[in-house]
Amino acid sequence: MKKTFGTVSKSDYSTDEDLDLSPASIVHQEAELAKREGILEERERILAEKQKIVDQKFEMAEKARKDLISKLEKVSELSTDEAKKLLLDSIEKDLAAEISRRIKEAEEDIKLHADQKAREILAEAMMHGITDYVSEFTTSQVELPDEEMKGRIIGKEGRNVRTFEQATGVDVLMDETPGVLILSSFDPVRREIAKISLQRLMQDGRIQPQRIEEIVEHTREDVEKLMCEAGEKLCHEIGVYNLPAELVCLIGRFKYRYSYGQNMIQHTLEETQIGIALAKMLGANVNVVRLACLLHDIGKVVIEGDEGTHIEKGVQICKKYGLPQEVTDAVAEHHEDKPFSRVESIIVYIADAISGGRPGARREDVEEYIKRIEDIERIATSFEGVDKAFAVAAGREVRVIVMPEQISDDELPKLTHDIASEIAQQVIVPGQIKVTAIREVRASDFAISS
């Protein structure tokens, strides 16, 4: 049964005798309540007295604490603030010693493992740069089907071989080795054009001056296509896409270009793989490193103009094709010509050094020789009226082809003298250099049947 507090119902009692509402009972209840009220008041009084005693004792304890602090200050001659400062300084000194000890232990641990970790990083990066590599120099060998073919290549009074050398810019060497003909030139592109042209001439069978010039011209166009394909292949191998077609073809010239005797396709592939591995391990921008490694030596294959280093030319190429500034900076800084501006530039520099510095990768003498030959040809072609210039016989002879409408036969001796004098002043060469000027006038017409 639900009860309502504050009210009394008759049903709450079992009988009528349980509910006593007589005057005497009420008086008794009031007396009982008054008694209980008195007891509560007495308890409150006692509690108040005890609280007073507690407060007095607290005041006495606080006074005693202050007196003790005052006595301690007099004995130690330190104020409270000074004592706090002294205590904090002591704790800080202990902590500083502990911190220094831990820092020293950490530094020793780092020194102990840093060299080992660095070697591990470089070794792992170099493993990514492993490529098949064959060093090539300045000659190409062509196999002949028989000794009779060698005579046909030479031609009557040597006219065929002279035409071939003038058209290709290479030296044809006839040694005593049977069934072999040697093509010599510092420029690997010329050697490749000459090699393919000679093979095609032998297959065609019509070996005569006019046919030689036609074959060489067609082969030159084909080799340009081969270089573009080589550029595309290199870009795909290292994961670079959507570059301008002209830039890809320029990269393809690495196929026949050598830096200190190291093929630049192989060097670029090696360096890029190493750079990508380093960038991943160091948390650098992999795409910037990838593209910068690909283009770091692009200035070495630029054929337009002779001014500036390969780095300056490379920067111009990057700007010409609108490449990111980070890539341009890495190309500009990969030989420390400028201070490093970001970690990606440092990675490109390290990757280049690893690829080029490994044993057997490069031969400095070859690079110096090629540079000297290039300078000789550049000087010869700088004269007005000169169409082409080919340095042959390991740079001991320069064949200069002039434009007949600008240079007469009487002017040839003076031109050769001026070229020889300029070469002697600008290029340090062992021995003598023979300058041969060639002036050839041709006339052609077409027979049209009516």
- Give the end of a domain, one of 236, 256, 276: 256
Q: How far apart are CA 195 and CA 216, in angstroms?
A: 10
Q: Within this chain, do residues 349 and 402 fall inside the same structural domain, yes or no?
A: no
Between 308 and 289, where is the model more confident?
A: 289
Average pLDDT over residues 204-233: 89
Terminal alpha carbon distance of the chain = 138
- 12 three-state secondary structure: helix
- Give the end of a domain, one of 330, 362, 394: 362
Q: Within this chain, do residues 224 and 163 fall inside the same structural domain, yes or no?
A: yes
**CATH number assigned to the domain comprising residue 178:** 3.30.1370.10
Structural domain boundaries enclosing 332: 259-362
For residue 231, which amino acid is it?
A: G
Is residue 76 assigned to a domain?
Answer: no
Adjacent-strand bridge partners of 391 = 398
Domain count, the chain: 4
Instruction: Indicate whether 178 pLDDT > 80.
Output: no
Alpha-helical regions (H) of 382-448: 412-426
| Predicted confidence (pLDDT) per residue in 72-98, tens digit | 766 666 676 776 777 677 776 666 667
Tokens of 122: 């470089």
Which range is most confident: 256-270, 399-413, 428-442?
399-413
Q: Picking from 129-143, 206-220, 304-318, which range would have the lowest pLDDT averaged per residue?
A: 129-143
Is residue 392 assigned to a domain?
Answer: yes
Is residue 239 assigned to a domain?
Answer: yes
Whether residue 306 contacts residue 316, with contact meaning beta carbons closer than 8 Å, is answered with: no
**CATH number assigned to the domain comprising residue 349:** 1.10.3210.10
Q: Within this chain, do residues 227 and 147 fall inside the same structural domain, yes or no?
A: yes
Beta strands at 386-392 and 262-263: parallel, antiparallel or unpaired = unpaired
Q: Within this chain, do residues 154 and 251 fall inside the same structural domain, yes or no?
A: yes
Q: Within this chain, do residues 241 and 330 fall inside the same structural domain, yes or no?
A: no
Q: Picking from 16-30, 153-167, 353-367, which range would have the lowest pLDDT averaged per residue?
A: 353-367
Torsion of CA 346, 348, 349, 350, to 10 degrees: 90
Q: How far apart are CA 58 and CA 62, in angstroms?
A: 6
Average pLDDT over residues 40-67: 86
Which residue in this structure is represented by tokens 């002697």? 424
Confidence of residue 14 (pLDDT cuts 50, 70, 90): very low
pTM of the model: 0.50
Whether residue 371 contacts residue 186, with contact meaning beta carbons closer than 8 Å, is answered with: no
| DSSP 8-state class, residue 359 | T
Rounded to the nearest 5°, which phi and psi values hold at 140?
Answer: -130, 145
Q: Picking from 55-64, 143-152, 300-309, 370-379, which range would have the lowest pLDDT averaged per residue?
A: 300-309
Average pLDDT over residues 337-345: 86
Is residue 36 assigned to a domain?
Answer: yes
Q: Within this chain, do residues 225 and 263 fall inside the same structural domain, yes or no?
A: no
Is residue 166 assigned to a domain?
Answer: yes
- Whole-number percent of the chain with pLDDT over 70: 75
**CATH number assigned to the domain comprising residue 386:** 3.30.300.20
Q: Within this chain, do residues 349 and 243 fall inside the same structural domain, yes or no?
A: no
Closest CA to 279 of 349, 337, 210: 349
Is residue 130 assigned to a domain?
Answer: no
Beta strands at 139-143 and 180-184: parallel, antiparallel or unpaired = antiparallel
Q: Within this chain, do residues 352 and 305 fall inside the same structural domain, yes or no?
A: yes
- Give the end of a domain, one of 256, 277, 298: 256
Is residue 19 assigned to a domain?
Answer: no
Average pLDDT over residues 229-244: 89
Instruction: Indicate whether 10 pLDDT > 50.
Output: no
Closest CA to 251 of 188, 288, 315, 295: 295
Q: Within this chain, do residues 169 and 187 fall inside the same structural domain, yes or no?
A: yes
| Predicted confidence (pLDDT) per residue in 419-428, tens digit | 888 888 887 6
Q: Within this chain, do residues 319 and 419 fall inside the same structural domain, yes or no?
A: no
Q: How far apart are CA 211 and CA 159, in angstroms?
A: 13
pLDDT of residue 75: 65
Confidence of residue 326 (pLDDT cuts 50, 70, 90): very high
Q: Following DSSP, what letter does each residue of 181-235 receive, concatenated?
A: EEEE-S-HHHHHHHHHHHHHHHHH---SHHHHHHHHHHHHHHHHHHHHHHHHHHH
Instruction: Indicate whether 194 pLDDT > 80.
Output: yes
